[in-house]
Structure 1
Amino acid sequence: MRMEELTWPEFESLKERVNTVIIPIGSVEAHGKHLPLGTDVFAPLEIARRVEERLRGLGVEVLTAPPVWYGHTFVLNVYPGTINVGGDAFKAYVREIIKEFAAEGFRRIILLNGHGGNYSPLVLAAEEVTVDFPETEIWLINWWLDFREDILSICSSQGHAGQDETSVMLAIRPELVKMENARGEKRSSKVRIIKKDIGKELFPEGVNDDPSLATVEKGEAILSVVSEKIARLIAGDT
C-alpha cells in the first residue's frame, strides 16, 4: 500500500491495523554510462513492492512510504548528475522523517536502503529517534549487503553499477539500461582513503565491477530471494 495514494482518513484508519512502514531510501548519482541516475531508488522501491506483495499472501499488511531520493554520495560527486547531500543534512532530514512516523504510532520503521554512502548517517538518525521513542524499532536493511551471500550465489561478482545492480535494473527498467555501454572493473583500496577526487580512482567512469555479465534472469533471481527473505523477517516478527 503506497502512502502517497491514500487520503488522510484512509491513512488514519490504516494505522489501527498496520504497525510497520517501509521507507525506500537511495541516491541520485552516476552509475556508469549504462545505468540511470536513479538506480539506487528504483531498486529498493521494487523490493518494497515485492515484499508487500509477499506479505499480503501471508495475511500481513505493511505501508510503503514515499522514497527518499537524494542521499549522501560524496565519493561519486566527481561525476555529472550526482546530487550529494552533506552527511549532517541528510541525517537530520531522515531523522525528522523517521520521527514523524514514530509519532504517528508505527512501532516498526524499516529503512530499505539502496546506497552505501547513506549507511552511517542512517544509523545515527535512527539512534537519535529511539531516544525519544524507545518503543519504536528501526530496521536498517541494505539490500545488496545484508543478502550478499545470496546475491553472490547468483552473480559471480557485485559492486557499484556492477553485475548485481545492472541485473536488477534489467529486471526492473530494461528500457533505461544501455548494455552496449556496460563495462568496468573491480577496484579496491587496502585502507579507506578519503580525498576529494577518490571517486575517479575507485569508480572509474562511475563503476566498480564488471557489469557485462548482467542478465534479466539474474536480476529476477536477486529480487526474488531478497524480497522473500525480507518478507519472512517481517512476518516472523509480527
Structure 2
Amino acid sequence: MYMENLTWDEFNEIKKKIDTVILPIGSVEAHGKHLPLGTDVFAPVEIAKRVEAKLREKGKEILIAPPIWYGHSFVLDVFPGTINVKADTLRRYVRDVMAEFAEEGFRKIILLNGHGGNYYPLVEAAEEVARRYNVEVWLINWWIDFREDILSICSSQGHAGEDETSVILAIKPELVKMEKAEGEKRTSKVRKIRKDIALELFPNGVNDDPRGATKEKGEAILEVISKKIARFILED
C-alpha cells in the first residue's frame, strides 16, 4: 500500500490496522556510463514493492512511504549528476521523517537503504528516534545484508557492478546501456578521504566489472531478498 496514493482520512483509518512502514532511501549519483543516476532509489523501491506483495499474500499489510531520493555521496560527487547532501543534513531529515511516523503511531519503521554513503547517518537517525519514541527501527542495506545470497548468483559485487547492473536490468532495462558497461574492482589498504578519491577507486563511477550482468540474475537477487525480508517481518 503506497502512502502517496491515500487521502488523509484513508491514511488515518489504515494506520489503525498497520504498524509497519517501509521507507526506501537512496541517492542520485553516478553509476558508470551504463546505469541511471536513480539506481540507488530504483532498487529499494522495487524491493519494497515485492516485499509488500509477498506479505499481502500472507494476509499482512504494510505501508510503503514515498522514497527519500537524495543521499550522502561525498565520494562520487566528483562526477556530474551526483547530488550530494551533507551527512548531518540527511541524518536530521530522516530523523524528522521517522519521528513523524512514530507520532502517527507506527511501531516499526524499516529503512530500506540503497546507498552505502547513507549508512552512518541512518544509524544515528535511527538511534535518536528509538531513544525518544516507542518504536523499533530496522536498517536494511540490501547489497550488504544479503551479500552471501547475491554472491551465490553473481560472480562479484561492487558499485555499478554485476549485482547492481543485474538488478536494474530486471527493473528498468530500458535505462541500461550495456554497450557502455565496463569497470574493474579497485581497493585501498586504508580508507582514504579525499575530494577526488573516486577518480582513483571509482573510475567512470564504477567499482566492479558489470559485463556479466543479466536480467535473470537481477530477478533472482530481487526474489531472494524480498522473500527473506518478508519472512523476517512475518516472524518478528
Question: Could you say which TM-score interval applies, normalised by the shorter chain?
Answer: over 0.9
Shift of 1:145: 0.4
Mapping of residues 205-220 of structure 1, within 5 Å: 205-220=204-219
**TM-score normalised to the size of structure 1?**
0.99
Match runs of 1:138-217 below 5 Å: 138-217=137-216
For 1:44, the aligned partner's letter is P
Cα offset for 1:32?
0.1
Q: Which residue identity lines up with residue 136 of structure 1 in the other structure?
A: V
Q: SS where residue 131 of structure 1 aligns? A: helix
Q: Give the whole-Å Cα distance in 2 for the aligned partners of 1:231 and 1:60.
A: 10
Instruction: Answer yes or no: is 1:103 the counterpart of 2:103.
Output: yes
User: What secondary structure, in the 3-state scheme, does the structure 2 residue paired with 1:85 have?
Assistant: coil
2:108 & 2:43 partners in 1: Cα distance?
21
1:131 Cα deviation from its structure 2 partner: 1.6
Letter in 2 for 1:129: V
Q: Deviations over 1:37-93 (max 9, x none)?
A: 000000000000000000001111000000000000000000000000001111111
CA distance in 1, matches of 2:203, 2:12: 48
Give CA deviations for 1:10-29 in whole Å, capped at 9, x if unaligned: 10010111000000000000
SS at match of 1:130: helix
Match of 1:234 in 2: 233
2:69 aligned with 1:72: no
What SS is found at the alignment partner of 2:154?
Answer: coil
Identity %: 72
How many angstroms apart in 2 are the aligned matches of 1:198 and 1:155?
Answer: 27
Corresponding residue of 1:18: 18
Matched residue of 2:207: which SS? coil
Amino acid at match of 2:58: L
Q: Which residue of 2 aligns with 1:225?
A: 224
1:210 maps to a residue whose letter is: D
| Corresponding residue pairs, total | 236
How far, CA to CA, are the matches of 2:229 and 2:189 in structure 1?
32
1:223 maps to amino acid = L
Letter in 2 for 1:91: R
* SS of structure 1 residue aligned to 2:70: coil
Following superposition, the deviation at residue 7 of structure 1 comes to 0.4
What is the deviation of 1:196?
1.0
Q: Counterpart in 2 of 1:8?
A: 8
Q: Distance in 1 between matches of 2:92 and 2:198?
A: 25
Partner residue, 2:91: 91
Q: Confirm or deny that 1:37 pairs with 2:37.
A: yes
Q: Displaced runs of 4+ in structure 1, greater than 6 A?
A: none
CA RMSD for the aligned pairs?
A: 0.4
For structure 1, which runs of at least 5 residues remain unmatched after alignment?
none
Separation in 1, partners of 2:131, 2:139: 17
Q: Secondary structure at the residue paired with 2:21? A: strand
- Establish whether residue 54 from structure 1 lines up as the match of residue 62 from structure 2: no
- The amino acid of 1:35's aligned partner reads L
